[in-house]
Amino acid sequence: MNRLSAFGLILMTLLSAQIASAAGFYLSEVGTPASLGTGGVANPTNTWGPDAAWTNPAGMTGLKNAAMIAGVQVALPMIKFDPDIAEAGGKDGGQAGDVAGIPSFFYATPLSNDFSFGFAVTAPLGGGLNYGDDFVGRYQLQDVSLQGVGFTPSVGYRVNDRLSIGGGVSVIYTTLEQSIALRQPGRPDGKIKIKDMSDVGLQALLGLTYALTDRALLGLVYRSQTNTELSGNVKFDKTPLSALGTRSLDIDWTNPQWAELGLRYALTDATTLFFNAGWQQWSKFSENSMKFQNGAVVKSDRNWDDTWHAGVAAAHQRGNSTWSLGVSYDSSPVKDRDRTFDFPVDETWKLSASYTVEHKDGLNFSLGSSLLMVGDASIDQTAQGVRVTGDYKSNLLWLVGGSLRYDF
């Protein structure tokens, strides 16, 4: 097989498989009690915690002293596909979700009466799926892992007693690995391995808070789009294409910009209500492209739509402890006919809760959890000439986390 023909096969195979991005990236929960315990509903109006360095930097002006939070949350996915049609046979993939630990760190301090500085380390995007080599949809995907970690310095400025503004820049390091079966009629499947893909991108962060009354606070947060330009390698196993060795590959997409509006209202001295609404431009992410070592470029469109979000939460303080509860909804970015195995998302409901205990020595301990209930995510896809249909009999993500806060 000559080199031109080999790359023609590469192009067709990867184009039919599309580009993986893993399940559930762009998490609004960052492992702190206010965020994880409300499903992110309290994020835009956070004026009490150092995690405001990421959730809304304008909120850092509400801190009287320096403070830090160190936390970790564990992502426990329960993802099981139930096939109806599987033209090439195979298994259902079993429990496909990968368990992951997600650490986080936040620090914020007043620099003066009006200026504040903060720094955050978060994992704002990521996920992983492993369906196995004999999965019914193996010609579209066998396994995928997308990971991202963000480092965010930010500042806040108090304009007056009611208005504060803030901004920052997230430096996001992203990695991607993926495997796809290569159909070879009359012989065992080969495998395409996309590996060692990485990129460093920037995302701008802007925010403001405005006190409508002594009890009501408005928060607004905007995050810019991020151009993800991954560079790495593609390799072939158990196929005549293996003779090509490892070839360079670039994969590009755009992580969407998003805006979020929040309202915090002190119902009583002990009980606070939170409301938020948001928009994310997933239609920009829809356009994916690949560039191969020989200069060939392939573009594809996932046919994704923008999404909207709404949520409500409550927090209640009693003595030295605080609990919170939250519920929220996110619309689906993709219609059933366009959904793919690498991103089995649908409309999502979140149920969240947290519990915090405060100590006199400046230490606070918290536990929190969010349950993301994704829809059945029906799929009808044909890859490499093989059709697979079905839906997900289990499509859940359970986030469980704990954190330690210290006020200096």
- What is the Cα–Cα distance from 208 to 339, expressed in whole angstroms? 36
In which band, very low, low, confident or very high, does the pLDDT at 310 lie, cut at 50, 70 and 90?
very high
Q: What is the mean pLDDT of residues 334-348?
A: 91
Q: Residue 9 — pLDDT band, cuts 50, 70, 90?
A: very low
pLDDT at 232 over 90: yes
Give the range among 64-68, 85-89, 122-126 with minimum mean pLDDT.
Answer: 122-126
- pLDDT higher than threshold 50 for residue 8: no
In terms of residues, how long is the chain? 408
Domains of the chain with bracketed CATH: 3-407 (2.40.160.60)
pLDDT value at residue 25: 57
pLDDT at 256 over 70: yes
pTM: 0.90
d(CA 298, CA 317): 55
Q: With bands split at pLDDT 50, 70 and 90, how would you rate the model's confidence at 354?
A: very high
Is pLDDT above 50 for 21? no
Give the per-residue pLDDT at 357.
92
The 3-class SS string of the chain reads CCHHHHHHHHHHHHHHHCCCCCCCCCCCCCCCHHHHCCCCCCHHHCCCCCCHHHHCHHHHHHCCCCEEEEEEEEEEEEEEEEEEEECCCCECCCCCECCEEEEEEEEEEECCCCEEEEEEEEEEEEEEEECCCCECCCCCCCEEEEEEEEEEEEEEEECCCCEEEEEEEEEEEEEEEEEEEECCCCCCCEEEEEEEEEEEEEEEEEEEEEECCCCEEEEEEEECCEEEEEEEEEEEECCHHHHHCCEEEEEEEEECCEEEEEEEEECCCCEEEEEEEEEECHHHHCEEEEEECCCCEEEEECCCCCEEEEEEEEEEEECCEEEEEEEEEECCCCCHHHCCCCCCCCCEEEEEEEEEEECCCCEEEEEEEEEEEECCCCEEEEECCEEEEEEEEEEEEEEEEEEEEEEC
What's the pLDDT tens digit per position in 377-393?
A: 999 999 999 999 999 99
Asked if residue 44 has pLDDT above 90, the reply is: yes
Kindly report the average pLDDT of the chain as a whole number.
89
The lowest-confidence range among 106-115, 184-193, 308-317 is: 184-193
Say how far apart CA 371 and CA 273 lie, in whole Å.
20
For residue 11, what pLDDT is reported?
46
For residue 2, pLDDT over 70 is answered with no
- The whole-number pLDDT of residue 339 equals 92
Please tell me the predicted confidence (pLDDT) of residue 17.
Answer: 43
Amino acid identity of residue 403, one-letter, is S
Asked if the model's pLDDT at residue 74 lies above 50, the reply is yes
Model confidence at 29, pLDDT cuts 50, 70, 90, reads: confident
The proportion of the chain whose per-residue pLDDT surpasses 70, expressed as a percent, equals: 94
Q: Which segment of 10-14, 43-47, 219-223 scores lowest on mean pLDDT?
A: 10-14
Q: According to the model, what pLDDT value does residue 23 have?
A: 37
Q: How confident is the model at residue 100 (pLDDT cuts 50, 70, 90)?
A: confident
